[in-house]
Amino acid sequence: MPKPFDATLKQLIRHHPADWLGLIGVVPTEPPVWVDAELSTISASADTVLRVGRQAYHFEFEAGPDDSLSDRVLMYNAVAHHRTGLPVRSAAVLLRPNAQRAGLTGSVAYGRLTFEFEIVRVWQLPADDFLRGPLGLTPLAVLGQPPRGRTREQALPEQVDRIIDRAVAEAGERRGEVVTAAFLLAGMHQQMAFLRTIFDKGMTMIESSAFQVMEQIAMERQTREIISTLGTDRFGAPTAEQAERLAAIENLPRLNRLVRRLLKVSSWDALLKGR
């Protein structure tokens, strides 16, 4: 299913394509063009394709653990090539450390084919580089590596101020898109009350739909905590793999169904099989 940040990141790429190509080391020789490769017929979250001349570039975002990521990137790459008639270079942009799975190397063996794609681990890149770099990448600062000696939470208020200042100075009518993206991405690791405080001067620029998304994220997080607490009482502490599977569920109706299943099953595996 589409993740909360999908739409806002797609907007950033659509309106700042050269900035995002720079994230994977590409300097466009001509203006990049957004391509509708109709990948959304396969997955609503898999339609971020740009074209520069006779080359296409596909971006795939991931925020949580998914053992099928490499296979999905291969599939989307092949479909994008089929529908555009162009060679396609794919990049998986990992937004959080728990999106990094064991064995994720950027290479997939499929019969005689070896498919390779790029991996960008955002949390390993300095937040200051995003703040000083192209405008379209500034929201990623809230997920980047904080300055030495500071935690992400300590660094976040200053980062947000700089993002808002740049959005106001450089983004014109699209300043709300930049600030909203930063708000939603920061919500991956911060609580709503804290975000409302540090985004105070940018609140009028944040799209109202972002608050609904953040409230949904908060409810999902709270429900996962309830499942973890009650599940530990019933089944004992989950294994690391089971905890990751629970953390990867970003679907509130399914999480609510798991709460109701807690009294009907006898193990974490049985619980997490539930849809």
Give 112-135 pLDDT, tens digit per residue.
889 999 999 999 999 999 999 999
Q: What burial class does residue 262 get, using C-beta atoms within 10 Å of its C-beta: 0-12 exposed, 13-18 middle, 19+ buried?
A: middle
Interhelix angle 175-186/6-15, nearest 10 degrees: 140
Kindly state the average pLDDT of the residues 18-33. Answer: 94
| 90 neighbors 60 (Cβ within 8 angstroms) | yes
Angle between helices 175-186 and 152-170 (to 10 degrees): 170
Q: Is 92 helix (H, G, I), strand (E, B) or coil?
A: strand
Same structural domain, 117 and 129: no
The residue segments making up the domain with residue 54 are 1-124
Q: What is the pLDDT of residues 58-103, one digit of tens each?
A: 999 988 877 888 998 999 999 899 988 999 999 999 999 888 877 7
Same domain, 85 and 140: no
Number of domains observed in the structure of the chain: 3
Residues 20 and 61 in one domain: yes
pLDDT confidence of residue 155: 95
Closest listed residue to residue 12, CA positions, set 199, 179, 127, 204: 179
What is the pLDDT of the chain when averaged over all its residues?
Answer: 86
Distance CA 97, CA 135 (A): 24
Q: Is the dihedral of CA 275, 65, 18, 169 positive or negative?
A: positive
Whether 32 and 141 share a structural domain: no
Question: What is the rounded distance in angstroms from the CA atom of residue 50 to the CA atom of residue 35?
Answer: 5
Looking at this protein, which amino acid is placed at residue 57?
A: Y
Please report, for residues 106, 187, 241, the alpha-carbon distance to residue 123 in angstroms, rounded to integers and kept in the order given.
Answer: 17, 15, 21
Amino acid 116: pLDDT = 94
Instruction: Determine what percent of the chain is predicted with pLDDT higher than 90.
Output: 46
Of 124, 155, 190, which marks where a domain is finished? 124
Residues 154 and 226 in one domain: no
pLDDT at 58: 94
Residues 152, 91 within the same domain: no
pLDDT digits (tens, 9 = 90+) for 165-216: 999 999 888 888 898 899 889 988 888 788 888 888 777 767 655 566 666 6
CA distance 264 to 120: 41
* Same domain (yes/no): 265, 184: no
Q: What local confidence, expressed as pLDDT, does residue 200 receive?
A: 82
Does residue 37 have a pLDDT over 90?
Answer: no
Summarize the confidence of residues 218-226 as an average pLDDT: 84
CB 27 within 8 A of CB 61: no
Shared domain check, 138 and 95: no
**Would you state the pLDDT for residue 3?**
61
